[in-house]
Chain A
Amino acid sequence: MPRKDLLDIVSLEREEIDHLLDQAVPFKELFTRSVKKVPALKGKSVLTLFYEPSTRTLSSFEVAANRLSADVTNFAVASSSIVKGESVRETVETLQAMRTDYIIVRHSRSGLPSTIARMTKASVINAGDGAHAHPTQALLDAFTIKEKFPDPTGKRVLIVGDILHSRVARSTSTILKKLGVEVAYLGPGSLVPKVGPENVQRFTNYEEAMKWKPDVVYLLRVQMERQDVQYFPSVREYHRLYGVTEERLRRIDGDGLYIMHPGPVNRGVELCDGVLDYSRSLINDQVENGIAVRMAVLYWLKPGGEVIG
């Protein structure tokens, strides 16, 4: 059964995840053709409502919607009534009156897309809310890992960095566990919650984490803008203790590990410069796959549910 909204990964069934990942395969094949467009959502309206800055996620959704022949409108928050103090409810009521079919929301507040979804018949896609969830990122990460490991059961993914503030860590670890992947976190003790999800190992020491023998090292961007107090002494110290330094990159190469990163990369913080030429970096694959899985999501959701808010 298709859903009205995609708000998180936690609520998705395994079958739904498999369906979305399978559906993304033919959409990705489309990219190799001269005409990269299908009429699947012709006449449907997609509205992007990004309260937070974003380049790759926003453009990825726009490209995905365009390739499905939907009409895409970018709701420019900076020049809207929102800056005049209009509440989210008023904004959503306005969009509802415009008969928008899909609303793609990014906001710094966790849970805001859920709130919007309760207020509108449009399908709401969470494009990242606070430190809560980023379901399409998780889907594209899972898709990227499945391209390398068609049966990912038992593979190991080490997620490194600011777990506490990362919606990517939450959603990607959730989807990977649903696919049978083992997940571990590595980062400073102040940024790796002790009471996190079940069945996720917690490391605060790089060497210990590497003894766990991961297949993929998934690096997160250190989000200084989300840190309201000091969580570690300096960026230099962070890079030394938790970053992929030149020396660590050589060891990762020797062990044949893949590297992933949701972008944008802080060079010299979580990653040394050399990693951008690393042969087993999947960072660009993630970007390309993002369009395919977002097409799959748009194609799958069905707007028009009951408004309960």
Chain B
Amino acid sequence: MSLLIRNARIASEDSATLREGDVLVEGGIIRSIGKGLSAPEGAKVIEANGRLVMPAMFDAHVHFREPGQEAKETIATGTEAAINGGITGIVMMPNTKPAIDSAPVVRMVLDSAAKNSRIPVYTSGCITKDRAGKELAGIDGMRGLGVKMLTDDGDSVADPAVLLRAMQYASEFGMFFASHCEVPELAGPRALNEGVVSYRLGIKGTPAAAEEIIIDRDIRLAHAAGAHIHIQHVSSKIGMETIRWWKQRGDVKVTAEVAPHHLLFTEEDIGDFDTHYKMNPPLRTKADTEALLQGLIEGVFDLIATDHAPHTPFEKSQDFVSAPNGITGLETALVSLYHYFVATGKFGWDLVVKRYSAEPRRMMGLEPVPVEEGRPADLILFDTEAETTFSLDFMKSKSRNTPFFDKTLKGRVDLVVLGDQILLER
């Protein structure tokens, strides 16, 4: 396939300034970038008219519910949702049923991905068997199938001794750890932040301290073990400051992620028990949101990840406490980041590319995919003038549990190219 994208603006992680030019893709490679390129015979030509070409996104934190809860999402529907959002690579979390805690389950997942996905699917593996926090999972077997990230996401490893031993053991294999940070005894029914809204709604909240304690504990353990620790979905100001403090020390490898919903929403958005704002860690206060945004701009957060967590409408239509935690994010992340932050001048496209495309790939030991001559084509075309309505027709995910459902935001993913394939064209 040959593809010529004319008159585009090109975003990269290295520069806030957008380059202007044409991009020619041939045989899955970005053959040349320049002005006035001529189309090879038979090439598909797209007049970009100022639309953006940029590296495709990579989401290092998604839940695809396969195996075990395919009514919510499968690898097939989840990866199509990713493509719909401009994402060409994902890392699955292992809290499936059964949990991804051994080589046979990893193989099952990878086999399904090979058959059902048009984009690369990576999976993390559990730290402990069945995420129970007691016995170590089948670490070497999973490593042999390419697993790099170990996590019991959905829960912390409650016993610090178990986590420390796991870190000492698995770091020797070059694996790293991702931490869902939460003291279970403080977490209550894990429905919302402890604060004015939890008081108003009469639901026991989860204090930010429940998260902050484990952020600090797990980094200390990684420090002791000489392990790489990645802190997942940080939601609190003090949590962010804790990570910043440890990073400034410089004697432990810490990375961290923030989710778009924690940058965009606060506990006040829950309103009258709206379960589309129920997630774990919970939405916190405006002060937290502002601190997280500052942390992202400063680079305390290495990456943006959605924690895409699909649930069926039936489950989410229960009362607030009974409804499961989590919202979908793959299809809304990039557009919402543009609508709320790039279009309003809070940060530039370079941050989006760095934090949502390049850094997550680097963390997983993969090469970033800049739009440069000679690089493999792994890019998207984004229209900053168009709009996206997140309607049922638009959604490729099996689930629609997002606060953006049926809402319209500025920005649209028009094209997704991976190697020799056009995965999406609007």
Distance of A164 Cα from B202 Cα, bound (Å): 8
Which of A10, A132, A309 neighbours the largest number of chain B CB atoms within 10 Å of its CB?
A132
The answer to whether B196 and A111 have CB atoms under 8 Å apart is no
Given A195-B195, A195-B196, check contact A110 B202 (CB 8 Å): yes
Distance of A132 Cα from B320 Cα, bound (Å): 12
Q: B317: CB under 8 A from chain A?
A: yes
Question: Per-residue CB proximity of B248-275 to A under 8 Å, as 1/0?
Answer: 0000000000000000000000001100
Given A193-B199, A197-B199, A197-B200, check contact A114 B321 (CB 8 Å): no
Given A114-B273, A195-B195, check contact A88 B319 (CB 8 Å): yes
Q: A109: CB under 8 A from chain B?
A: yes
Distance of A132 Cα from B321 Cα, bound (Å): 12
Contacting residue for A132 out of B195, B203, B314, CB 8 A? B203
Q: B318: CB under 8 A from chain A?
A: yes
Distance of A89 Cα from B317 Cα, bound (Å): 8
Distance of A216 Cα from B380 Cα, bound (Å): 67
Q: B45: CB under 8 A from chain A?
A: no
Q: B38: CB under 8 A from chain A?
A: no
Q: A296: CB under 8 A from chain B?
A: no
The answer to whether A115 and B317 have CB atoms under 8 Å apart is yes
Q: B71: CB under 8 A from chain A?
A: no
Chain B residues whose CB sits within 8 angstroms of the CB of A109 once the complex forms = 319-322
Given A87-B318, A109-B319, A115-B317, check contact A131 B203 (CB 8 Å): yes
Chain A residues whose CB sits within 8 angstroms of the CB of B203 once the complex forms = 110-111, 130-132
Given A131-B202, A167-B202, A196-B199, check contact A89 B273 (CB 8 Å): no
Question: Per-residue CB proximity of A96-126 to B under 8 Å, as 1/0?
Answer: 0000000000010111101100110000000
The answer to whether A115 and B318 have CB atoms under 8 Å apart is yes
Question: Per-residue CB proximity of B186-200 to A under 8 Å, as 1/0?
Answer: 000000001110011
The answer to whether B319 and A115 have CB atoms under 8 Å apart is yes
The answer to whether B319 and A112 have CB atoms under 8 Å apart is yes
Question: Per-residue CB proximity of B169-204 to A under 8 Å, as 1/0?
Answer: 000000000000000000000000011100111111
Distance of A309 Cα from B196 Cα, bound (Å): 27
Distance of A205 Cα from B281 Cα, bound (Å): 35
Q: A297: CB under 8 A from chain B?
A: no
Distance of A132 Cα from B195 Cα, bound (Å): 14
Number of chain B interface residues as a range? 10 to 19
Contacting residue for B201 out of A11, A132, A197, CB 8 A? A132
Q: Which residue of B lies closest to A163 (CB)?
A: B199
List B298-329 residues whose CB lies under 8 Å from chain A.
314, 317-322
The answer to whether A88 and B318 have CB atoms under 8 Å apart is yes
Chain B residues whose CB sits within 8 angstroms of the CB of A309 once the complex forms = 317
Chain A residues whose CB sits within 8 angstroms of the CB of B321 once the complex forms = 109-111, 130
Q: A170: CB under 8 A from chain B?
A: yes
Contacting residue for A115 out of B194, B196, B201, B273, CB 8 A? B273
Distance of A89 Cα from B194 Cα, bound (Å): 28
Q: A129: CB under 8 A from chain B?
A: yes
Cβ distance B161 to chain A, nearest Cβ, rounded Å = 25
List B318-377 residues whose CB lies under 8 Å from chain A.
318-322
Given A89-B314, A111-B273, A114-B272, check contact A170 B319 (CB 8 Å): no
Distance of A193 Cα from B200 Cα, bound (Å): 11
Question: Per-residue CB proximity of A160-200 to B under 8 Å, as 1/0?
Answer: 00000001001000000000000000000000010111000
Cβ distance B396 to chain A, nearest Cβ, rounded Å = 25
Distance of A167 Cα from B202 Cα, bound (Å): 7
Cβ distance A11 to chain B, nearest Cβ, rounded Å = 8
Q: A252: CB under 8 A from chain B?
A: no
Distance of A194 Cα from B318 Cα, bound (Å): 29
Cβ distance B271 to chain A, nearest Cβ, rounded Å = 10
Contacting residue for B200 out of A10, A119, A129, A130, CB 8 A? A10
Cβ distance A195 to chain B, nearest Cβ, rounded Å = 5
The answer to whether A133 and B202 have CB atoms under 8 Å apart is yes
Which of A88, A107, A115 neighbours the largest number of chain B CB atoms within 10 Å of its CB?
A115
The answer to whether B196 and A129 have CB atoms under 8 Å apart is no
Cβ distance B184 to chain A, nearest Cβ, rounded Å = 13
Cβ distance A85 to chain B, nearest Cβ, rounded Å = 13
Q: Which residue of B lies closest to A87 (CB)?
A: B318
Chain B residues whose CB sits within 8 angstroms of the CB of A114 once the complex forms = 272-273, 319
Chain B residues whose CB sits within 8 angstroms of the CB of A196 once the complex forms = 196, 199
Cβ distance B108 to chain A, nearest Cβ, rounded Å = 30
Chain B residues whose CB sits within 8 angstroms of the CB of A130 once the complex forms = 202-203, 321
Cβ distance A160 to chain B, nearest Cβ, rounded Å = 18
Given A89-B314, A195-B195, check contact A111 B200 (CB 8 Å): no
Chain B residues whose CB sits within 8 angstroms of the CB of A7 once the complex forms = 272
Distance of A182 Cα from B44 Cα, bound (Å): 73
Q: Which residue of B lies closest to A196 (CB)?
A: B199
Cβ distance B191 to chain A, nearest Cβ, rounded Å = 9
Known: A110-B201, A110-B202. 8 other contacts (CB 8 A): A111-B319, A111-B320, A115-B320, A130-B203, A130-B321, A131-B203, A195-B196, A196-B196
Identify 8 residue pairs between A and B in the complex whose beta-carbon atoms are under 8 Å apart, listed by A's number: A109-B320, A110-B273, A111-B203, A112-B319, A132-B202, A133-B202, A195-B194, A228-B204
- Residues in A lying within 8 Å of B, measured CB to CB: 7, 10-11, 87-89, 107, 109-112, 114-115, 118-119, 129-133, 167, 170, 193, 195-197, 228, 309
| Ranked 8 nearest A-B pairs via Cβ | A132-B202, A131-B202, A111-B273, A112-B319, A110-B202, A111-B320, A115-B319, A110-B203
- Residues in B lying within 8 Å of A, measured CB to CB: 194-196, 199-204, 272-273, 314, 317-322
